[in-house]
């Protein structure tokens, strides 16, 4: 392949305390938390709204915010939850997402915090020296520009900033296998009075074997997370898997989304012909982007382990606790990854595991934190920490830590974890094992 050398002088458009890359739940939580601590913050998002999987990928539901007794995603996550659902009792169940309301909640929260933000802005590269990221290079709609910051928070989901700065990482299971992606969707004209909506009681996949025998599907995928009730006649589809997708490669993503836009019509036929209440169901739209479950896990000072989940670990530098089961979607039909029993068992009410601050610290980098699904974790723990409520937890911690490091001119590795914990608690974090 031919190579060329490309050089260009560009403006340093922003000089800030904290630069957050990625405007999903982790990025919004990080930016708002840092700004509330008094830091000057810039937030950059490649799409045209905040929210990531919930808005652009149309994932129809938040997983649990609670362990059934305690609200785990306290602080930023609690504020967002209350604006969407009201200040209701703690619960372990999942919650359907009103996408347009959520977009406005994020917009209002970020604007009110004083964060400088831009949509349509892609991270291209970073300039790093001796473990310090000095500049991040972005492309806006038509212009290239640089951002200088004291600290950077990588909330890209893929760990793109950290990897660009030299961080080591694991991709999928280490053999090139990653969880499948899903192209989520919006549906209308569903008769919810006749459709079964209790997942697990009578799941949407109950007639798949018959549909396979009838030749409905080109890919005989036995797993079907299913349809979520959004309103009186509307549903959000977490429907179908596309296998073999590398969410860090544009060729792979292109092939996958074209495939799924075609295959979703097979699911439309299945729902209309095989399931009660969907006879008149209409596919209204598919998401703008694929829902990616897994790409990189950045190698951090501490890698959260399956053992931490099993033992309900407690850490002296704990920045939050979470309780969603280990949820790994098999990378290939017919492959059992051996974690189904762990997912099915889950936790008893009131039980949770701790997340160490060190899982946000990429090895070898002194002014970068990671938040969201690219934090330091083994693959099993990725299955739990990747979901959106946990992204609020890690994002809020990363934002506060970045603010502390910036104003004290310390590396992110050398801030006082007790100070971080106290500020997290003051902002609403659930940290029951930290001495007040």
User: What is the predicted pLDDT for the residue at 343?
Assistant: 86
Residue 201 has pLDDT above 70, yes or no: no
User: What is the predicted pLDDT for the residue at 158?
Assistant: 98
User: What is the predicted pLDDT for the residue at 198?
Assistant: 54
Considering the domain architecture, whether residues 281 and 373 belong to the same structural domain is answered as no
> Higher model confidence: residue 336 or residue 110?
110
Residue 374 has pLDDT above 70, yes or no: yes
DSSP labels for 3-28? --------EEEEEEEEEEE--SHHHH
Tokens of 249: 């490669």
The CA distance from 339 to 125, in Å, is 37
Tokens of 66: 């609670």
Last residue of a domain, one of 251, 286, 321: 286
Please give the average per-residue pLDDT across 201-207, as a whole number: 83
Residue 433 lies in a domain: no
User: What is the predicted pLDDT for the residue at 256?
Assistant: 98
The CA distance from 164 to 142, in Å, is 22
User: What is the predicted pLDDT for the residue at 336?
Assistant: 85
User: Residue 235: enclosing H or E segment and its boundaries?
Assistant: strand 235-238
Considering the domain architecture, whether residues 28 and 164 belong to the same structural domain is answered as yes
Considering the domain architecture, whether residues 138 and 204 belong to the same structural domain is answered as no
Considering the domain architecture, whether residues 162 and 191 belong to the same structural domain is answered as no
Mean pLDDT of the chain: 95
Last residue of a domain, one of 245, 267, 286: 286
Q: Residue 251 CB: number of other CB atoms within 10 A?
A: 8
Give helix 25-36 / helix 99-113 axis angle, nearest 10°: 30
Domain that holds residue 279: 185-286
Count of structural domains within the chain? 2
CATH code for the domain in which residue 109 is found: 3.50.50.60
Query: Contact, 417 vs 316, CB < 8 A?
Result: yes
Per-residue pLDDT tens digits for 258-285: 999 999 999 999 999 999 999 999 999 9
Last residue of a domain, one of 225, 260, 286: 286
Name the β-bridge partners of 116.
Answer: 42
Residue 179 lies in a domain: no
**Lowest mean pLDDT: which of 77-91, 130-144, 195-209, 217-231?**
195-209
- Taking the model in full, what pTM does it have? 0.97
Distances (CA, A) of 90 to 70, 81, 98, 197, 314: 6, 11, 20, 21, 22
User: What is the predicted pLDDT for the residue at 259?
Assistant: 97
Residue 197 has pLDDT above 70, yes or no: no
């Amino acid at each position: 392949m031919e190579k060329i050398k490309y050089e260009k002088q560009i403006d340093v458009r922003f000089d800030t305390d904290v630069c957050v890359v990625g405007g999903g739940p982790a990025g919004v939580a990080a930016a708002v938390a840092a700004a509330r601590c008094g830091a000057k913050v810039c937030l950059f998002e490649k799409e045209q709204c905040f929210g990531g999987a919930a808005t652009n990928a149309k994932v129809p539901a938040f997983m649990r915010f609670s362990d059934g007794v305690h609200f785990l995603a306290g602080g930023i996550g609690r504020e967002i939850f209350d604006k969407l659902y009201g200040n209701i009792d703690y619960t372990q169940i999942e919650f359907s997402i009103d996408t347009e309301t959520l977009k406005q909640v994020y917009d209002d929260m970020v604007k009110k915090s004083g964060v400088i933000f831009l949509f349509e802005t892609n991270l291209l590269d970073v300039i790093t020296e001796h473990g310090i990221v000095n500049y991040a290079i972005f492309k806006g709609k038509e212009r290239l520009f640089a951002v200088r910051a004291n600290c950077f928070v990588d909330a890209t989901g893929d760990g793109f900033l950290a990897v660009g700065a030299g961080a080591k990482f694991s991709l999928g299971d280490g053999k090139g296998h990653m969880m499948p992606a899903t192209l989520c969707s919006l549906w209308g004209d569903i008769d919810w009075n006749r459709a079964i909506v209790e997942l697990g009681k009578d799941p949407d996949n109950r007639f798949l074997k018959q549909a396979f025998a009838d030749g409905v599907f080109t890919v005989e995928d036995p797993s079907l997370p299913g349809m979520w009730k959004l309103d009186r006649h509307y549903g959000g589809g977490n429907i179908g898997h596309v296998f073999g997708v590398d969410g860090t490669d544009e060729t792979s993503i292109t092939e996958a989304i074209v495939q799924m836009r075609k295959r979703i019509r097979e699911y439309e036929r299945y729902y209309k012909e095989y399931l009660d209440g969907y006879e008149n169901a209409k596919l209204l739209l598919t998401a703008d982007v694929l829902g990616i479950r897994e790409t990189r896990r950045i190698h951090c000072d501490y890698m959260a382990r399956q053992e931490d989940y099993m033992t309900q670990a407690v850490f002296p530098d704990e920045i939050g606790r979470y309780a969603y089961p280990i949820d790994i979607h098999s990378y290939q039909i017919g492959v059992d990854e051996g974690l189904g029993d762990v997912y099915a068992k889950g936790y008893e009410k009131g039980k949770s595991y701790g997340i160490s601050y060190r899982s946000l610290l990429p090895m070898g980098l002194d002014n970068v934190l990671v938040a969201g699904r690219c934090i330091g974790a083994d693959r099993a723990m990725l299955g739990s920490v990747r979901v959106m409520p946990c992204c609020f937890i890690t994002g809020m911690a990363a934002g506060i830590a970045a603010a502390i490091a910036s104003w004290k001119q310390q590396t992110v590795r050398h801030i006082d974890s007790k100070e971080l914990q106290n500020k997290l608690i003051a902002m609403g974090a659930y940290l029951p094992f930290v001495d007040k």
